[in-house]
Amino acid sequence: MSNTTPTSYATVPLPAGFPADVTLPKFVVELGERFADAGYELALVGGPVRDMFLGSSVTDLDFTTDAVPETIQQILTGWAHAQWDIGAAFGTIGARYGDWTVEITTYRDEQYDPDSRKPEVVFGTELLEDLRRRDFTVNAMALRLPDFELVDPFGGIKALVAGVLSTPGTPQQSFSDDPLRMMRAARFAAQLGVTVSDDVAAAMTDMAQRIEIISAERVREELVKLMIADTPRRGLDLLVASGIADVVLPELPAMRQASDATHRHKDVYEHSLQVMENAIEREAHYVEAPNFVLRFAALMHDIGKPKTRRFEPNGKVTFRHHDVVGAKLVAKRMRELRFDKGSTKAVARLVELHMRFYGYGEGEWTDSAVRRYVTDAGDLVAHLHALTRSDVTTQNKRKARRLATAYDDLESRIEQLAEEEELAAIRPDLDGKQIMELLDIKPGPLVGRAYNYLLNLRLDEGPADVEATKAALLAWWADQPEAQQPNDDA
C-alpha cells in the first residue's frame, strides 16, 4: 500500500455508476489479464473500491485472488519491478510497479482463538467467501479484473449511500474474528462520516473487553488513523459510548467524571473535544496538517483534572497542577500503547506547557518571559501557539477577545525578539569547557549547576559580552560552598 500519491500512468475509465472523474492506472487491467491468462481470478477489493465510489483518488491498490502466494509470485515475475513475500504466511505478496505499490492476497478466512492475538489463516477458493469475512459491507466490494465486473453481495454501495456502517455477517462474529474491527468502526466513523448500525453499536458495547487481546501496536495504529481523520470526534464519542475507550484510553472517559453540574465548572470531556476541534481548524496555520501530536495533545491536555480536582470551602473547584500531572499520565499511556519516544515526549511536553501562557497574566510580556516561553517550548513552539489559542472555549466574547489580543501580543513579542536574538537556540554565553577552565573544576554536577545559572542569566537579561558573563559567574561561584573546598574535591 502506498503512502504517497504515485506518479500517474495511462488510465482507464470505470464502468457506469462510478464518479466520472475517477480512473485507474491502465496497468491494473494488464495485471488482471496476466492472472486470467494463467487461469486465475484477480479482483480489486476493499478500500480502493469504496473510495472510488466516494469519488476519492485511489492511491492504494489492494487485490485478492484464488492463486496461492507461490503462484502469485510466479505470475508477477517479469511484470513487477520488484516484489517481496514478507506477508506470505498470511497470503499476501507485495510488489512495486513504477512507484506504485500493490498488495495481492489469496482468498482467505481468518479468526482469532479466544485467547490469542494472532489470527489463524486459512486460504479460500471463492471471492464471495473472501468478501464475507471482511470487516464491513462498505469494504466487502470488489471489481473483477480485467472486465471491471462489480461484485457487491452484501450491499456495500447501499450502505455508503445511507452512511451506515454494518457487517457482512453478524457483528458478533466479525468482532470475535478480529476485535480490532471495533476500533476500525470508530475510525471509519471519523474518516467517512458514517454512523454505525444499531446492531454494530450493541455488539461493540457487549464485546468491548475483547479488545484486550489485541496488541498495543495494532491499537495504537488505529488510534492514530482515527485522530488524523476529518472528524475524529465522531470516532472518539463512539469509543467512549461503547466502553472500548475504558480499555484502550481510559483517561478519556475519566474526564467525564471530573464534570460536576452542582459546582458548575465546565464539562472537561466536552471541553477537551472542543479544544481538539479548535486545534484542527488552526493546525494548517501553524504546523503540517493533519498533525497527530497537536490533535492528541489538545484532546489529552486536561487529563490531569480528575486526579487533581478539589472542592474548596468557598464552593469553587480547583485543578492545581493538572498540567504537570496530565503530562505524566499521557506519557505513561503513550508508552503503554508503544508510541515512539519522540511523539510521546512531544505530546507530554505540550500538555505540561498548555497553562504556561496564563501564568504570565494578560499584561505586556517582558523579554525574559518571552525567552523562557520559547526556550521551554523548543521546536514545539508552533504547536504550543495552536494549542493555547485552541484552549479558549469561553462563551464570554469579551473574555475571548481579551485572551486573543494577549496572545497576539505574545506572538508579536516572539517575532520581535527573534529578529534581535536567536531565540530557537538560546545558550549560555559560556560553554561547559569555558566554565571548567574559569572555575578550575572537573566535569560533574557542579558544571551543570554553573551552566544552568548562566542559562537563567541569559534568559533574564539577554545576550552579554564574554567578560561580563565571566564576572557574573565568578560572583556566583564565590557564594557556592564548593568554592571553599580544595580543587581535588570540587
Q: Give the residue from 249, 275, 298 where a domain finishes.
A: 249
Is residue 261 situated within a structural domain? no
Angstrom distance (rounded) from CA 242 to CA 209: 10
- Same domain for 188 and 154, yes or no, is no
What pLDDT shows up at residue 8? 47
Query: What is the C-alpha to C-alpha distance for residues 139 and 184, in angstroms, rounded to an integer?
Result: 11
82 found inside a domain: yes
Tens place of pLDDT for every residue, the chain, 490 residues? 444 445 545 677 777 777 777 778 889 999 999 999 999 999 999 999 999 888 887 778 999 999 999 999 999 999 999 999 988 888 999 999 988 999 999 998 765 566 665 667 788 889 999 999 999 999 999 999 999 999 999 999 999 999 999 999 999 999 998 999 999 999 999 999 999 999 999 999 999 999 999 999 999 999 999 999 999 999 999 999 999 999 999 999 999 876 544 444 468 999 999 999 999 999 999 999 999 999 999 999 999 998 888 888 877 888 888 999 999 999 999 999 999 999 999 999 999 999 988 866 556 677 888 888 888 898 999 999 999 999 999 888 998 898 888 888 888 888 877 766 565 556 777 888 888 888 888 888 888 888 888 878 777 777 777 888 888 888 888 888 887 666 554 4
274 and 372 fall within a common domain: yes
User: What CATH code is carried by the domain that includes residue 354?
Assistant: 1.10.3210
Separation of first and last alpha carbons in the chain: 60
Q: Are residues 131 and 57 in the same domain?
A: yes
Residue 173: predicted pLDDT:
92
State the pLDDT at residue 487: 56
Residues 139 and 174 sit within 8 Å (Cβ to Cβ): no
Among 425, 459, 479, identify where a domain stops: 425
pLDDT tens by residue, 375-405: 889 899 999 999 999 999 988 899 889 888 8
User: Nearest to residue 387, comparing CAs of 327, 325, 319, 328?
Assistant: 327
In a domain, 456, yes or no: yes
Q: Which helix (H) or strand (E) holds 95?
A: strand 92-97
Domain that holds residue 191: 163-249
Whether 256 is covered by a domain: the verdict is no
Distances from the Cα of 455 to the Cα of 367, 414, 472, 475, 480, angstroms: 14, 18, 12, 15, 17
Buried b / exposed e across 107-143, counting CB within 10 Å, b at 16+?
bbebbbeeeeeeeeeebbeebeebbbbbbbbbbbbbb
Does any domain span residue 470?
Answer: yes
pLDDT of residue 486: 60
- For 111, the enclosing helix (H) or strand (E) is strand 108-112
Claim to verify: residue 152 and residue 191 sit in the same structural domain: no
Do 241 and 141 have their domain in common?
A: no
For residues 11 and 29, membership in a common domain is answered with: yes
Assess if residue 254 is contained within a domain. Answer: no
> What's the structural domain count of the chain?
4
Q: Which of 185, 218, 249 is the last residue of a domain?
A: 249
> What's the grid cell of residue 401?
477577545
Question: Would you tell me how many other CB atoms lie within 10 Å of the CB of residue 173?
Answer: 14
| pLDDT at residue number 55 | 84
User: What pLDDT, on a 0 to 100 scale, did the predictor assign at position 3?
Assistant: 44
* DSSP string of 214-250, one letter each residue: S-HHHHHHHHHHHHTSS-HHHHHHHHHHHTSHHHH-T
> Is 339 contained in some domain?
yes
pLDDT of residue 2: 43
* pLDDT, tens digit (0-9, with 9 covering 90-100), for 285-333: 999 999 999 999 999 999 999 888 888 887 788 888 899 999 999 999 9
Dist. CA 487–CA 93, nearest whole Å: 67
C-alpha closest to that of 66 among 151, 124, 109, 133: 124
Q: Say if residue 155 is in the same domain as residue 119.
A: yes
Q: Work out the angle between the directed axes of helices 292-300 and 341-353 (0-180°, nearest 10).
A: 50
Query: 98 and 5, same structural domain?
Result: yes
